[in-house]
Chain A
Amino acid sequence: MSVPFPFSAIVGQDEMKLAILIAAVDSKVGGVLAFGDRGTGKSTTVRALAALLPKMRVVVHCRYGCDPQRPAGLCELCKGGGKKGSKKDEAEAELKGRLVQVPVVDLPLGATEDRVVGALDLERALTQGEKAFEPGLLARAHRGFLYIDEVNLLEDHLVDLLLDVAASGENVVEREGLSVRHPARFVLIGSGNPEEGELRPQLLDRFGLSVEVKTPEDLLTRIEVVRRRDEYEKDPEAFANKWKNKDAKLRRQISNARDRLESVKVPDAALERAARLCMSLGTDGLRGELTLVRAARAFAALEGDDTVEDKHLRTIAPPALRHRLRRNPLDDAGSGTRVARAIEELFGSHDA
């Protein structure tokens, strides 16, 4: 389908949309995992993201989409000022940038390892007898998003590979006599249905935010979902057009939030609150706290606020922490409920 469903036309699912917007504002928050019922527009939401994101600047002719403004994270070729390249226009380009769409790359089930990490360029090997590297999906997703639908059904060896790259931000390929390394920093977005099986804990940990997606139960929302979907399917272009302005508004909101992100203050009180919350929930390690604070800051930036306050932490805590709780077999409550309970205890009941 050429025209994606507009992001702003998605009914409800506020937590999922917020988590994705936060990841779009600050990629360091880490990935987003959307787990839940079928037919709730998980994939639709992610696929809508591409059209929503403000464009980004990449080095002209760079195959990995390096950022001309960030000399630290360049690929080998760009580090050399583009001079290593054999083609002359590459050398001339220096580090000139151009604007492109932020990639939102789909990792389809059934993808093979060579396409994910990259491998020898078969075409050139066969026709010219040359060994050239053909970048894979990880390279394409650099500085963007990598989306895996039904992430819990992904083959184990691909999961291993992703874990490694997501941790290091770099893809190292050693195969077929090739030795290539290139930056691969991306926001991992996964979706799936828990009834197909659980996610490996290590992979779970890579996701900064985890949202529970539920089918809306009230009739009016459901009718609205069906109505919009039906309208979209009848004439995707017209429908997208109708929502263009709303999407543009969201885009500006993301841009503004990015600009102000650095200036949003996180007072000590908020840091302490976050730490206490994590302690009372017994989350493993520091990642929970870090993510919580970072995501709260991005949320504050999105809302146009200057400082991180309780209201931000309150909203962000469930998605930032619910997948980091140790399982307690004798506690029936879902992890979401446990986070909510801890928030109530710490922050007092609502309207604090």
Chain B
Amino acid sequence: MTPDPRSYTPWDDATFVAALFAVDPVGTGGVCLRALPGPVRDQWLNHTRELLPPEAPVRRVPVHIADGRLLGGLDLTATLQAGRPVAERGVLADAHNGVVIMAMVERLPTAMAARLAAVLDAGEVALERDGIALRSPARLGVIALDEGISEDERPPTVLLDRLAFLLDLSGIAYQSAVSFPYDLEQITEARHRLPQIEVSESILEVLCATALMFGITSLRAPLHALKVARASAALAGRNEVSAEDAAIAGRLALAPRATVIPVIEEESQENEAEEAPPEQPPEPPPDQPPQNDEPPKEDEELQIDMDQLLEDLVLEATKAAIPAGLLAQLKVAGGSSRGQARSGGRAGAVQKSRQRGRPAGTYRGELRSGVRLNVIETLRAAAPWQPIRRRERLRELAEDIARRTARVEVRSDDFRITRLKQRSQTTSIFVVDASGSAALHRLAEAKGAVELLLADCYVRRDRVALIAFRGSGAELLLPPTRSLVRAKRSLAGLPGGGGTPLAAGIEAAWALADTVKRQGDTPVLIFLTDGKANIGRDGNPGRAKANEDAITAARMIRVDGMTALLVDTSPRPQPTAQTLAQEMGARYLPLPFADANTLSIAVQAVTA
């Protein structure tokens, strides 16, 4: 049977990705599989396993794996038994020439992702741990299981940037996950063919151009696309990458990372936004039978035409593969709502980086008051030195006394102190009234305060977020972040003016605070408003109703026991704002001339 690369049901795509990945796990880097655990994901994983060579190791990595297990380290038991240092191989070195399956990558700490990324880049594990310096080859592919549900839950960009495929299985019904068009034999054949596959200059150019047109800044994306195109050609039994392979690469490796939609003149493409792309085969004429590749030796003009055709082909294929919902969002926002493709550059929300994830391990230190000794780690540290210490002791003391003293000799050098988990990180959420005439001033000061706080953030490990409300609703302008760069980008050009939907603002703040709480952080809400609402919860104007709604929303904050500060920005302190603060259980701070400095000091006082 011949695999048909132009089958477009999501499951067909998924199996196709599995096959391409299996052909070149190292080159493509891997697959980020977005799906909840369940039969469909299991089907896919099983299928992928079957396509990999039977001898290829497949290792599963839990999300909170210790460095020692991931990278390797000292094997204590073996070391003590053998009487010489014995290194323990980490999971990554074990998976050499195979695949690692990373579980729950949406919770993967950035620091851990960066370790993995370094190994993927170098193709080897550079171990500098526990007195061992060792380099072991680790050429491997990654399957990252992303179980995130909301848009905020995203794997670290460091990792996503290294994986060619971002595959979403969440919309696939189990009934449709039945066909398995590829088998090991085909993959093995393709693997053998892979090194000989040629890529023409025009294909390379088109893939680069397509990536750029879709606003994909990272240069790893076109490189991955190239690898995918090669794998596709190998799978189809070609020796050269054809236009069709390029289109596939665009569809599978570039489309999921798109951050903008390029304008293509043809109007006929409009309807793809509403309906799913499947029934629209995006390959127009050039080569229906995949065998006849583009003619290599034609006169100049024709060559240019061919290039144009090729470009259009890849462009169309890529565009068609962008999920309908995303397309709509992209058109509206002009930025990536999925976030994963972002690598800095243009406007738009950026992937949430995980700041919390530094492992709170142990460190060598003195036993002072207030620190907690980690007994196991201390014994671990002491263990290798026992023979040498015993001998020393024998030299110093009479033998019988030496025998009676402690069996395990622990010295102060061995003390390992538990690194206490950092006081849970605080996220300061600024909620700024951007309505009316004072908006610009208030926003500017809130912005200044945000940046001042961020400048102080490295030490405090705090995050800052900003919500503005005006007109008919509230908008999250700056998702929780510790990065000054991001903050500056998001805060540039804040809009102001319009009505005061106070209730919507408070509600949005509460929702964000709730999310923050669920992540294990402590939210602190800072409201900058005069407390005069005039737009109700339903978006309709009306002072009385609006105030009532605002009070109701404010109570939610008190009920949930969230720390809040209400900065009254009106020229003269207002009873409305004061009542609101009371209902909210917030500290009330009249600050008619709120300036960035005073604000940041006030916030620090609340969060301390």
Contact = CB atoms under 8 A, between A and B. Distances in A.
A123 B217 contact: no
A279 B218 CA distance: 37
B535 to A, nearest CB: 30
Given A38-B157, A127-B83, A116 B128 contact: yes
Contacts of B218: 37-39, 215
B122 A196 contact: no
B71 interface: yes
Interface string A312-339: 0000000000000001011010100000
A334 to B, nearest CB: 8
B548 interface: no
B199 A197 contact: no
Nearest to A109: B115
B364 interface: yes
Nearest to A47: B122
A283 interface: no
Interface string B470-482: 0000000000001
A167 interface: no
Contact of B344 (A111, A129, A215): A215
Q: Which of A129, A195, A225 has the most CB of B within 10 A?
A: A195
A222 B455 CA distance: 34
Nearest to B131: A122
A329 B74 CA distance: 47
Given A37-B343, A230-B226, A126 B131 contact: no
A137 B363 CA distance: 19
A131 B129 contact: no
Nearest to A233: B27
B497 interface: no
Contacts of B199: 230
Contacts of B111: 109, 150, 153, 155
A332 B115 CA distance: 33
B596 interface: yes
A117 B492 CA distance: 44
B70 A115 contact: no
B448 A108 contact: no
Contacts of A285: none
In which size bucket is the chain A interface?
35 or more
B517 interface: no
Contacts, number: 206
Given A106-B126, A227-B204, A332-B488, A153 B114 contact: yes
Nearest to B201: A227
B110 A196 contact: yes
A196 B27 CA distance: 26
B511 to A, nearest CB: 24
A233 B223 CA distance: 11
A97 B71 CA distance: 37
A125 B388 contact: yes
A226 interface: yes
Nearest to A119: B131
A155 B358 contact: yes
Nearest to A111: B128
Contact of A177 (B217, B364, B413): B413
B94 interface: no
B458 A198 contact: yes
A338 B411 CA distance: 54
Given A177-B413, A196-B110, A134 B131 contact: yes
A114 B387 CA distance: 20
A38 B344 contact: yes
Contact of A226 (B117, B121, B204, B391): B204
Given A38-B161, A126-B79, A226 B384 contact: no
B388 A129 contact: yes
B485 interface: yes
A117 B420 CA distance: 24
Interface in B353-380: 353, 355, 358, 363-364
B123 interface: yes
Nearest to A229: B223
Contacts of B145: none
B483 A107 contact: no
Contact of A195 (B118, B208, B485): B485
Contacts of B413: 175-177
Given A195-B353, A201-B458, A125 B364 contact: no
A149 interface: yes
B439 to A, nearest CB: 17
Contact of A194 (B70, B133, B483): B483
Contact of B129 (A37, A43, A112, A222): A112
Given A198-B482, A201-B458, A329-B455, A115 B128 contact: yes
Contacts of B8: none
A36 interface: yes
A115 B133 contact: yes
A198 B79 contact: no
Nearest to B597: A329
A1 interface: yes
Contact of A193 (B344, B391, B411): B344
B538 interface: no
A194 B350 CA distance: 12
B217 to A, nearest CB: 5
B212 interface: yes
A196 B353 contact: yes
A330 B444 contact: yes
Sorted nearest first, the 8 A-B pairs with minimum C-beta distance are A329-B451, A115-B128, A111-B128, A39-B218, A39-B220, A122-B131, A38-B343, A150-B114
9 contacts: A38-B220, A40-B219, A110-B129, A114-B131, A120-B385, A214-B345, A215-B345, A219-B205, A222-B222
